[in-house]
Copies of this chain bind each other. A is one copy, B any other.
Amino acid sequence: MSQGARPALQSRSRATRDKLLKALECLLRERSFAEVTVADIAREAGLAVGTVYRRFENKDAFIPVLFEIYKQRLDAFMGSAGGVVVEPEGGLKTVLRQLTEQSWTFLTSERGVAREAHLYARLRPDLVGEEWDALLAASQDSYGTLIDAFSDEIKRPRQEAAEMLSYHFNTALTERALYPEDGVGSQMTVSDLDFVRAIADFAYGYLVTEAD
C-alpha cells in the first residue's frame, strides 16, 4: 500500500468519492482506521469494493485525504471563529480561554477525523508528511501572532513560546477530546469546562511567569 488518491473530476466521481469519505468518517466513530476494512467502507457507502479502488489507489490513500478534510474543517472553523485576537479587551487570559474553548469545541465535534489525523501522524508519518507539517507551521504562526498582540504581558522568548503553545494545545486538548473514554483523561473528575479553563491557564501561567 502506498500513496495516491485518484482524481475525480466528474460530478459522479466526486459524489462517489464523497460517499466513500462520508462512509469512512462514519465508521471511524466506532473503530480505528486499521480496524475498518475496504469492504466495510464500500458497504457503508452502498458501493462495490472495486469502486473504492477507482477513487483511491489503495486503502492507505484515504489517510492523506482524511488529513485534507481535517485541515479544511480546521481552516473553516478557525476562519469563522477567528475573531479571537480581534477582541483582546479581556486580556491575555480571556483570549487564551476563548481560543481553547473554540479548539475544544472543534476537536470534540470532529472527533473521528481528528483522531485518525493525530493517530496517523504518529503511526504512518510517511503518509501524511507535508500536510501535517504545514498544519503545525500554520498553528505556530497563529500563536506567534497572538504572542505579538500581548508582547508586554509575555515573559517568554517569542519563538519558544509559539512552539510551546502550539505543542501544548495540540497535545493537551487532543488527549481528552479524542479519547474521552479511555486514555489519560478518562479518570478525571473535573468537568469539561474546568478542564478547558485549566488547559488555558497552563498556557497563561507559562507565558506570564519569568523564564528563570
Q: Which residues of A contact B (CB under 8 A)?
A: 32, 34, 118, 121-123, 125, 133, 136-137, 140, 159-160, 163-164, 166-168, 170-172, 175-176, 179, 181-190, 194-195, 198, 201-209, 211
With known contacts A198-B206, A204-B209, A206-B202, A187–B133 Cβ distance under 8 A: yes
* Nearest-Cβ distance from residue A208 to partner chain B, whole angstroms: 7
Cβ–Cβ < 8 Å partners of A208 in chain B: 205, 209
Q: How far is the CA of A164 from the CA of B190 in the complex (A)?
A: 9
Q: Can you give 27 contacting A-B residue pairs, CB < 8 Å?
A: A121-B183, A122-B179, A125-B182, A136-B187, A137-B187, A159-B189, A159-B190, A163-B187, A163-B188, A163-B189, A163-B190, A164-B198, A167-B176, A167-B184, A167-B188, A168-B202, A170-B175, A170-B184, A171-B185, A198-B206, A201-B206, A201-B209, A202-B203, A204-B205, A204-B206, A205-B205, A206-B206
Interface SS majority for chain A: helix
Q: State A107–B166 Cα separation when bound (angstroms).
A: 21
A203: shortest Cβ distance to chain B, in Å? 7
Once bound together, how far apart are the Cα atoms of A208 and B186, in whole Å? 25
Q: In whole angstroms, what is the CA distance A123 to B167 when docked?
A: 22
